[in-house]
Structure 1
Amino acid sequence: MEEDSNPTTLGQYLEQGRKKAGLSLRQLAKAAGIPMSTVNHLLKDEIERPAAEHLQSIANVLELDMTDVFGFMGITPPSGLPGIAPYLRATTGLRGEDLNEATEQIQKIIDKYNDLPPDK
């Protein structure tokens, strides 16, 4: 595949991103926290149902748009933003009672400011 060509598979898209980022296979695997053999199989389109976590890690390292990654997989991503709890769980690792408390506090702040008239 030529570097400037349009990728037609997920593996080609990821490989193009890796080359543009100037990373070796080993560097990409290390940065994504994924075994190099798994990254290699992904870039060669040898994994039929790749783990979403692996794709997200690679996309984050390569600064690729997850919407494009989903598109190459034939998945239409949901529109809109996640709710507060899933967002906090994914970005902070909060769980259980701590997650519930943080969600409630943030919702109170949102509610407070939603009641204010818009800025002019």
Structure 2
Amino acid sequence: MVTETPAPESNGAARTVDAKPMDKVADIGRDIGEYIRQQRNNAKISLRQLSKLAGVSNPYLSQIERGVRKPSAEILQQIAKGLRISAEALYVQAGILDLPVGGPVPDAIRADTELSERQKQVLLDVYESFRRENRAVNPTEPTTAESEPEE
């Protein structure tokens, strides 16, 4: 991975350097922390409330949200329970699981920040049930991956 950083010896001009592996880990920690904070804000609960609901100490949860600490899968599961979202959503965000295969509709549903994780999952389930029904009625129709235009 290549990143742009200001050269220390210059007057702020950017130079290209290889990112260190630990920088990548820090980026993942920041990403999951930002995602958790966003979900907490969407749920309209305080850091202290989530700490109690998840059974995670307030300082540790704060460090996770700030990207200082990278939580384990077990901690993510506790946080997901406190937020009432799927642990899978946090695992994907943290890079523990790969993003489920999609297409334009599932990707748009997952990207919508105004929907809760539960609402997204319900929409995805309904969408997939319609697609399964249509494939059963007309099995010669191509699947999503086959019908998507190449870019």
TM-score where L is the length of structure 2: 0.42
Distance 1:69 1:56 in 2: 8
Matched residues in 2 for 1:56 and 1:66: separation?
Answer: 5
Distance in 1 separating the partners of 2:72 and 2:97: 16
Higher relative contact order at CA 8 Å, sep ≥6: structure 1 or structure 2?
1
Are 1:21 and 2:43 counterparts?
Answer: yes
User: In structure 2, which of residues 73, 77, 96 is the aligned counterpart of residue 56 of structure 1?
Assistant: 77
Deviations 1:11-58 (A, max 9, x none): 11100111111111111101111110111011111113x122211111
Residues paired across the two proteins, number: 70
Structure 2 residue runs without a partner (length 5+): 1-29, 101-151
Instruction: Tell me what 1:98 maps to.
Output: none
Name the structure 1 match of 2:53: 31
Q: Which has the higher strand share?
A: 2
Which of structure 1's runs of 4+ aligned residues deviate more than 3 A?
none
SS state at 2:38 partner: helix
CA root-mean-square deviation: 2.0
> TM-score w.r.t. structure 1 length?
0.52
Gaps of 5+ in 1: 1-7, 80-120
* Shift of residue 65, structure 1, vs aligned partner: 2.3
Q: Based on CA coordinates, which of the two structures has the bigger radius of gyration?
A: 2
1:61-100 correspondence runs (5 A): 61-76=82-97
Distance 1:56 1:29 in 2: 13
**Percent same amino acid among aligned pairs?**
33
Q: Match of 2:141?
A: none
- Counterpart of 1:72 in structure 2: which amino acid? Q
